[in-house]
Structure formats: structure tokens, C-alpha cells
Structure 1
């Protein structure tokens, strides 16, 4: 399964190969220096820059024809996932499996190539956001007759927004494994030190700016409203523009804007509501000085948060692992629904899902094995919740051991009450890249014209939407 078959693919499949630029993934570190390298007298061997990363392979059970599973869970959550698969193998001794954890960029090269070559894995795990494009390219097998029609799983047991997102041409193409997305993580100590109540958070954008100006402090202890405030040497920030993949849609939706209309025929990125949403972030950075400018090289929000330099952090459910690794930080952290930045206090949050799917071309035996594993993972999501992710099945979310994990319980409640998914579109990668580029340009400097940059981005998006 490690051989990559090089075939000429349609444009749509080729686009899938660059998904690593736009997906959450665990980065790969720089190669370590070989022991004794300084003593080598011969010229070093040439590095093959085209070589693909080695998958993280785990085998469970012993048989000649294992279920082959490909996924991109190669970070801290991958360790939890490996233990869950080990539990599956013990509970299902008649099904052995081979799990290959592959960095997302490589995954999205290998997967369409394997399907095109007629050698797909038996099962894959990726994201709900990619389903529409994957399905439109014929890479996925519908799950209705496989696992839903016979009652093995019930679509009503999952978040309806996710089910809608993974439905293509009236067919349910996958099974949700989890729900993940943005959550508010906030430092109670910083808030209390500013004379504010961490149990009574601001309800709208106006209130938040008032809080933010009291929280933000320069190296001399001055606030943005104080004379002599040093905007170039801020010690504590109120907020930060975190991953655009989630922060942009969340803010647009709060203000009543969006990237496109509901049926994906008209770009709305330059609408008055969308412009107001991005202008709010621009003002926080360059007018009120309560958020660091969104420029290359700025510190990651987690690094600021870890050293008490950030009060409000919009970050993913996976931050639970970060908190486990930093118990002193976790001790002064609480979670809540994403705070609204809109004037009227409208709440909205983007969620996504790791989904389980069977590739096109898998034989009956592979389908049967994948079905067993899918049902097991869906029913045993409580263990997966220890990674910080929210189990896909709502009844599992409500189990006591899941509810005992504060951040997971909060995220589950948030996603079920106000969660939304991104537009399902066959060209969503291009659309996503276009709006992220436009917003990045709009926030790149104090002199940037937000409306003009969003209009330019909308022209690109509209051209994509107008394709046949």
C-alpha cells in the first residue's frame, strides 16, 4: 500500500493534492542531524525532495487480509486514536486491521491516485468539509445502504449540520466520527486583574471592545485609552486573529455576512455585513490596538496564551491536549461559547467533522469490515473525547464520562446549539483560498482598504461560482 501510482488525474483530483495548504494538519519537523555527521568525509547523499513521508503504521490482529485504514490523525490525537483501534481489535478478534497515519498533504495525493488505480484502502478518515469535492470526483461510496438503511447507525443521532454537509446529490457519503471547531478559551486571572468578572463575559462587540481596552496593557502598564500607550510594545493582548479557516466564517456569520449565499451562486464577501465583520478585526488591530496585527511572523495564539499574554483565545477543541500538557495554564482557563463580536450579540460558530468513508472500488469483504469499524468508532466516541474532540454521536456526547471533560462538554453544547458548517461546494478549496487571501490582504496593514480588498476577493469567488 506504500506504492504511489502516478496517473494523470482530472483537474478536480489534482486540486485535492494541495489540500494540505488549507487543512488542519500536524506539521512535520525538520530532519534531525545524523549522529556523527561532523566526522563524515564523503559528500552527503542527495536528498530526494519528491520522497513522500513515511506513514505511521500500526497493525492490530494477525491475518493475511487486514482492513486497510488511511487517515491523517498523526498528531497528539493520533496516539489516542491508536489506543482506540487497539481496543477495537481486542473486542473484534475476527477483524484485523492495518492503520496508516499519513500527513494530510500526502494523504490527499495517495487517496485519489489509489482510487484511480483500482487499489484503494478499505476505509478512510478525513474532513466533512472535503466531502462535496471528493464525492463530485467519484472517490466515495454512499453510506446509506451500507450502514444507515439497516439501522446499524441512525443519521438522526448526529449533528444535522454535519449530516447536511456530507450529503451529496441526495446521498449520505460518510459517517461522522467527531465534531470539532472553535471554542473560546479565556484566562480568568488576566480578566480578574483587569477588574472584570470572568463569570460575566461581554455579550456583544461593543461590550467586548470596552473589556479589551481594559485588558490590553503595554510594557509600562498602560492601556490603549491611556496617554503614552506604546502600541509597538504590548505585553498583554485582549484577543488575537487566530486560524483564518475558522475565524473568518465565524465573524462573518456573527455580523450576518457570509462568503456566498446559501445555494453557492452569489459571492457575499463584499456585502455590507461582511465588510463590517472584517473591519471590526481591522479596527481591533490598528485603531484600538487590542489585538496584534495579522502579519506573517506573529506569535501563535497558544504561545501568547501560555505565558499570560493573551486573555481571549479562539481555538479548536484539540486545544484540550495543549491544556493537558500545560496544567498550570489550564488551572486559570475556562471555556465558553465563542464570544460575539457583532453589535447585536449574534452568536455563531463553525464546526467540522472527521468523517469515516469507504472509497469507490472497495470489494464486498472490505465494505463489511469497514462497516464494523465505523460502527465501533461511532459508538465508542467517549474514549476519543479524551483527545479533546467531541464524539460524533449525540447520545455519546451526553455520557457522563464525556460530560466530565469540561471543554468537550462545552464544545458539544455550542456545536449543537449554534454550530454551522462551511458551504458544501465542488470548488470549495479554491473559494476558501480566495476568501482567506482577500481577508489576509484586508488585515495586512493599517492602510489596507478592507472594502476594496474584499471586493477584489469577491470577484475571484464569483468567477469560480459562475463556472458550469
Structure 2
């Protein structure tokens, strides 16, 4: 698809969306696959008597089970008739959602990653939330971390309402850490404040496990490469923006982050050629002491019965920062939404947020702060040990082509994997990534037509 040949048309006077706008979601997924079918369609409970709320999301596995349980309980307790449709995550989901919004077949509410909003809201594929109605239902800006709430705002309007934040974190085997002398008097992992300290702790854990100190899978996984890189980069106080004709970034900070990653991947501290599945298995089998991963792995580790804890990734370069994203509720565009139906949708979402202590069980940090500040959340371990990550959460640099499930992180992998394999100089790999992004930024933005 040649996105540079034309710009998106504007919506008709009647409030409809042009065929060009139908394609906006796909344009934000250049190089992606075709639509995937719905995997699951869950009917409301027999006792539900309210107006049906059509709810789409891409949550599967443990997340899908937790969400299904949460929706079922909300239906039962509050008389909703919410119907869940679960679609294939990634390109299929985002393309399907865009086409449904533009084709007049949009669900009442859907889940998107907050990092994808810049590729949807400006093109008219989403409707803004009415913050007055949310406030009437007990959901206000004051109930959310500032960065998480602000991420949903485009041109002064709220287009996404976060359910959670899911940061990149550090999990650790408490038995291995204890044997390595890496636990403090409080029983938690010792404070680590520099790259050298991190490597030292990892090497001590490697002496215990006999294999590796850290599990970090990255082969063929641009998201994994990016999550750690961007965390380290931001911890140097560096910034990256994609809102001009060229990328703006701190090249020295970026190279330093890549150099540390290659130093860690020396075959002793961490496997030099590990993929994500291997990293999970290694940590579960006690063959490493620490695991760089996302909060979504918590149910897997909890089910294994191993002794582990988790914390926000240590600040190695002086500035508190961590990479993350949010599952967020959005209102796919409807030309003439029914007022009663919309109110029921708002009520449904507000009750999901208020009941998100259940969602916290899957490892995610609820965005609705009354949950995080409750005694019940304090009792959730290890979740309570990394809840502070929301204070320093950072999303992908904003662009129509960035965000979870987009090709942005794939562009990173194309140029950086060989760096991590020790086959390309970090500065050369970084330049290739920057050149790839600059080639995109030099062309018209298909979402705004500029």
C-alpha cells in the first residue's frame, strides 16, 4: 500500500468516515497481516437484564480468562448484558477495529493499547469520552496517575481511558538471590544503582545457578529488544521524539544503552542468543536468578510454585524511568450513537475500573488509583512491590506508526538484533534504525494528511 500517494479524506458532513479513513488502521500497520477472525464471542449471563454492551478486546491466555471472569462478575452484580468478542491480538485486531469503526459496525467499547491512540484518534476512528459523564459515575482525572491519564488525551480530548499499566519489570528467584547474598535485611532484592552493580549481582547469581544470572529473551522479538533499550535510554535522562521530519534522540545515550545490553549478553550474565520462550523456561527451572520481562508473566510464575518476587527495574543511570504501556478502553466511532446505549457503556466501563482488583491478579497495575491505594492491593504480592512503576512510566515515542503491535518495534529489531549478537557496531545499528524511521517521517502522515 502506497501511503505517500494520497492523504486521508475528511469525514462527510453527515459525520461519516470516508473509504480512505477505513484504511487508516491498516496504514498504521504497514507490512502487517490480513484480518483475523474472532476467536471467542461470549454471551452475557442468563441473569443479565440490561441493554447489551458489545465489547471487543484482544486479551487471551491468562489475561483472557481473568477478563472473562471480571466481565461475568460485573454482569451478575450490576445487571449488565455485556457481550465479549475476543479477536486475535496485533495486526488483525487493530485492522479489524479500524474497519469496524469506519464501516458502521463498531462495538460499543473496545480495548486498545494506549500507545496506539496517536494512529487512530486524529483520523476520526474513535469518539472522545465525555469526562462529565465519567465524573458523574465516579471516574475522574484525579483517580489516575498523571502520565497514564494524559496518554489518552489528543487535541485536548480524552480518547482512551486506561484500565491498567503494564511496565517492563525485574522478577527474581528469592532462593537464588538469598544464596548469592543479594537480599537486603527486608528480604527484598538489594538496591542496585549502577550498571556495574547490576552485573555484579547477576554474576553472583550465576555462581549459584551454574548457568546464567539473568534471563532475557530477545531473538526475533523486537518488542523485547525495545523494552529494555528504551528503559535504559530514558534512565540517562534522554528523550526521543518522532513529531518532526526526522528523529530527535540522544545518540550517545542510545549507544551506551546498546553497549550495556551487549555486555550483559556475554553468555554468562545472560544467554547471548536466547529467545523469549527459552528465557521463560530457564527462569522457571531455576537456571537463572533474575528475569527481565513484563508483568503479564506473573500468573505463569505463580502457578509454577517457585519462590520469586518482583520489582521495578532498578535505576542504573540516575533517572527513574521504565518502559510500559496500558490496556485502555476506547469508544470506536459511531455516526449516531444511541444516548441510552452510550450511558450503559460508560456505566459498564466504570464498574470494570472499580472492580479491577481482579485484573490486578493477572499482574497488571490498575490505572484506577483507589484500587492501588486500597488495603486489598497492599496484600497482593509481588504486585505491590512494583506498583511504584506508574510514577515513572514511559510509552513509545508518539507517531502514527508506533505503539504496541505496530511495525515500529520491528524496525528496531531489523537493525539492532545483530548489534546484540555482537555482529554489528552499536553506532552502526542505531544509525540504520534512525534512517529507517527518517524515511517514514519524510513522507506525508496518512492519519492527518500532512
Q: Do they superpose with TM above 0.5?
A: yes
Cα 1:159/1:454, change in 2 over 3 Å: same
Aligned pairs for 1:211-226 (under 5 A) are 211-217=201-207
- Structure 2 SS opposite 1:55: strand
- Structure 2 SS opposite 1:383: helix
Matched, 1:292 2:271: yes
Within 2, Cα distance between the matches of 1:18 and 1:355? 23
1:399, CA displacement in angstroms? Answer: 0.9
Within 2, Cα distance between the matches of 1:51 and 1:209? 43
Among 399, 414, 417, which residue is 1:425 paired with? 399
Matched, 1:267 2:262: no
Within 2, Cα distance between the matches of 1:51 and 1:87? 28
For residues 224-259 of structure 1, give each alpha carbon's deviation from its aligned partner in whole angstroms, at most 9, with x where no partner exists: xxxxxxxxxxx233342552342221121123334x
1:269, CA displacement in angstroms? Answer: 5.3
Question: Is the contact made by 1:241 and 1:247 (CA closer than 8 Å) also made in structure 2?
Answer: no
Tell me what 1:138 maps to: 124
Tell me what 1:69 maps to: 55
Within 2, Cα distance between the matches of 1:128 and 1:298? 24
Question: Is the contact made by 1:121 and 1:359 (CA closer than 8 Å) also made in structure 2?
Answer: yes
Structure 2: segments with no counterpart, 5+ residues: 1-18, 219-223, 444-449
Structure 1: segments with no counterpart, 5+ residues: 1-6, 22-48, 222-234
Cα 1:427/1:196, change in 2 over 3 Å: closer
Paired residues in the alignment total 410
- Structure 1 SS opposite 2:204: helix
Within 2, Cα distance between the matches of 1:151 and 1:238? 45
Question: Is the contact made by 1:185 and 1:315 (CA closer than 8 Å) also made in structure 2?
Answer: yes
Tell me what 1:353 maps to: 326
Question: Is the contact made by 1:338 and 1:347 (CA closer than 8 Å) also made in structure 2?
Answer: no
For residues 144-190 of structure 1, give each alpha carbon's deviation from its aligned partner in whole angstroms, at most 9, with x where no partner exists: 35634656421121111122211111111121111212221111222
For residues 252-280 of structure 1, give each alpha carbon's deviation from its aligned partner in whole angstroms, at most 9, with x where no partner exists: 1123334x238566524560111110111
Within 2, Cα distance between the matches of 1:264 and 1:366? 40
Matched, 1:321 2:307: no
Within 2, Cα distance between the matches of 1:125 and 1:20? 20
Aligned pairs for 1:13-412 (under 5 A) are 13-16=25-28, 52-60=37-45, 61=47, 66-93=52-79, 95-105=80-90, 106-145=92-131, 147-148=133-134, 150=136, 152-197=138-183, 199-217=189-207, 235-241=211-217, 243-258=224-239, 260-261=240-241, 266-268=246-248, 271-286=251-266, 289-294=268-273, 297=275, 299-327=277-305, 329=306, 331=307, 333-342=308-317, 345-361=318-334, 362-412=337-387
- Structure 1 SS opposite 2:234: helix
Based on CA coordinates, which of the two structures has the bigger radius of gyration? 1
Tell me what 1:464 maps to: 440
Tell me what 1:42 maps to: none
Within 1, Cα distance between the matches of 2:149 and 2:118? 12
- Structure 2 SS opposite 1:186: strand
Length-normalised TM-score, structure 1: 0.79
1:87, CA displacement in angstroms? Answer: 1.8
Tell me what 1:413 maps to: 388
1:143, CA displacement in angstroms? Answer: 0.7
1:411, CA displacement in angstroms? Answer: 2.5
For residues 367-404 of structure 1, give each alpha carbon's deviation from its aligned partner in whole angstroms, at most 9, with x where no partner exists: 11111111111112112212221111112111111111
Aligned Cα root-mean-square deviation (Å): 2.8
Length-normalised TM-score, structure 2: 0.82
- Structure 1 SS opposite 2:118: helix
- Structure 2 SS opposite 1:104: coil
